[in-house]
């Protein structure tokens, strides 16, 4: 089968050349991201995790008596790492087994006057319940921070994600739906937060010379093509499928050439989001008859971006998950299990009972999730072929 890499938005060498020739690209990207989200200000930085770290540092300086940050027990580990690096304590709450998103009921039970902020990631491009989370935060005086790294352009109840929170951020990594070469942006719709956020941003160093980064982006651009994917998976420097729980060793402002890639991607965002929605509809229908497999549920209020198509095996077959992933990979489908531990199981999160005891559904998802690529460059027939291979690999009934 033709390789199906998890590349949500293709970029070309021509795009990289254009990006490197753009002037004042960071300023332009900040302005366009702010306008896109109706924000008062936006700031471009070296990574998405650095963006969250800066937001938390700014909020902590304003609310020195609050040191807890609520976050989901199942999400990208760099979210929790940014909390720790900001000198704060993580309070992990459980997620929904159906949506994989943070459970607002659990947030309501955990939130009190100690909580500085709630971080709400939109998992695999599915918006979480922003209406409920915003109300909970208002009741206890906490800030709502939206993690839009996987969901730029999605919406909840007819409003764009990234517009509900007191602050929000995105990542422009190669696997994100607003794709670039690393980099991140954060923004706020609140007048009173602009200067505290700007103060933290201005402490960052300017971006360093990017010759090595540009060469690496050339390699990534070439190796991300479907016909090169088999080679890319074998190259250790590409780290395809590797779990990253590190922190940005040298946070800085965003380089202009990286911002240029972000501008190019932003111009294509709506087109590629729609392509992935169409592909997801095909996959959902094709997989509906596969026994012992559950697709990520989509609430009526949500319009996802489908960074990837998330599924999970039912309990009686979760032990077959890793073998199934291996067989799908052998068939050139970049399926994988995403996030191998609950947040409380990472050593740097600490060992308090608050961190480790709120994650029964999160643990179940860690053991059973099976996430499929949605490749907008491929035809509908090819996406149906992915689902056929999925069913065959699992033996019809998993």
Instruction: Domain count for the chain, please give it.
Output: 1
Q: What is the pLDDT along the chain (398 residues), one digit of tens a residue?
A: 666 777 778 888 999 999 999 999 999 999 999 999 999 999 999 999 999 999 999 999 999 899 999 999 999 999 999 999 999 999 999 999 999 999 999 999 999 999 999 999 999 999 999 999 999 999 999 999 999 999 999 999 999 999 999 999 999 988 899 988 889 999 999 999 999 999 999 999 998 766 777 787 787 777 777 666 666 666 666 555 556 767 777 899 999 999 999 999 999 999 999 999 998 998 898 888 788 889 999 999 999 999 999 999 987 666 788 888 888 888 778 888 999 899 989 888 875 445 445 679 999 999 999 999 887 766 677 667 777 777 676 544 44
Edge-to-edge strand list for the sheet holding 155-156? 159-160, 155-156, 302-303
Does residue 365 form part of some domain? Answer: no
State whether the Cα torsion 352-353-358-359 is positive or negative.
Answer: positive
What separation in angstroms does the CA of 27 have from each of 19, 191, 217? 14, 19, 22
- C-alpha 203/C-alpha 252 separation (Å) is 9
Helix (H) or strand (E) run with residue 159 in it? strand 159-160
Query: Which CATH number is 195's domain given?
Result: 3.40.640.10
Tell whether 396 is covered by a domain. Answer: no
Domain-embedded: residue 227:
no
Residue 51 lies in a domain: yes
Which residues touch 83 (CB under 8 Å, ≥6 apart)?
52, 56, 69, 71, 89, 90, 119
Convert 29-50 to b/e letters by CB count within 10 Å (16 or more is b).
bbebbbebbebebbbbbbbbbb
Does residue 76 belong to any structural domain of this protein? yes
Sign, CA torsion 104/105/110/112: positive
Q: Which domain holds residue 19?
A: 13-202
Structure tokens at 22: 């753009």
**Residue (of 330, 338, 323, 322) closest to 372 by Cα position:** 338
Element (H, E) at 41: strand 41-45
Q: Is residue 132 part of a domain?
A: yes
**In this structure, is residue 158 part of a structural domain?**
yes
Task: State residue 68 phi and psi, 5-degree precision.
Answer: -100, 140
Global confidence as pTM: 0.92
Angstrom distance (rounded) from CA 25 to CA 305: 25
């Amino acid at each position: 089968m033709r390789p199906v890499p998890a590349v949500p938005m293709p970029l070309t060498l021509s795009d990289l050349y254009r990006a490197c020739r753009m002037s004042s690209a960071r300023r332009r990207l900040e302005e366009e991201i702010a306008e896109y989200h109706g924000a008062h200000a936006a700031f471009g930085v070296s990574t998405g995790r650095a963006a969250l770290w800066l937001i938390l540092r700014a909020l902590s300086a304003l609310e020195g008596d609050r040191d807890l940050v609520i976050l989901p027990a199942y999400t990208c580990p760099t979210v929790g790492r940014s909390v720790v690096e900001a000198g704060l304590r993580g309070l992990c709450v459980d997620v929904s087994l159906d949506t994989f998103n943070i459970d607002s009921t659990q947030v309501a039970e955990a939130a009190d006057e100690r909580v500085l902020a709630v971080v709400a990631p939109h998992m695999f491009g599915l918006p979480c319940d922003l209406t409920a989370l915003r109300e909970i935060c208002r009741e206890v005086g906490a800030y709502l921070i939206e993690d839009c790294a996987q969901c730029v352009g999605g919406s909840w109840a007819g409003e764009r994600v990234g517009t509900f929170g007191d602050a929000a951020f995105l990542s422009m990594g190669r696997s994100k739906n607003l794709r670039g070469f690393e980099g991140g942006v954060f923004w706020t719709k609140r007048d009173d937060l602009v200067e505290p956020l700007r103060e933290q941003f201005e402490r960052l160093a300017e971006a360093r010379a990017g010759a090595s980064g540009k060469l690496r982006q050339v390699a990534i651009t070439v190796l991300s093509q479907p016909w090169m994917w088999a080679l890319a998976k074998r190259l250790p420097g590409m780290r395809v499928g590797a779990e990253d729980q590190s922190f940005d060793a040298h946070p800085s402002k965003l380089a202009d050439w990286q911002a240029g890639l972000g501008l190019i991607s932003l111009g294509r965002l709506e087109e590629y989001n729609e392509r992935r929605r169409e592909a997801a509809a095909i996959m959902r229908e094709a997989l509906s008859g596969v026994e012992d497999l559950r697709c990520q549920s989509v609430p009526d209020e949500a319009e996802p971006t489908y960074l990837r198509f998330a599924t999970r095996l039912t309990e009686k077959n979760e032990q077959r998950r890793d073998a199934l992933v291996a067989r799908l990979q052998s068939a050139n489908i970049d399926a994988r299990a995403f996030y191998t531990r609950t947040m409380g199981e990472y050593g740097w999160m600490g060992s308090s009972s608050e961190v480790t005891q709120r994650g029964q559904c999160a643990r179940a998802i860690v053991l059973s999730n099976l996430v499929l690529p949605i490749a907008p460059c491929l035809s509908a027939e090819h996406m149906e072929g992915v689902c056929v291979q999925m069913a065959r690999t699992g033996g019809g009934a998993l």
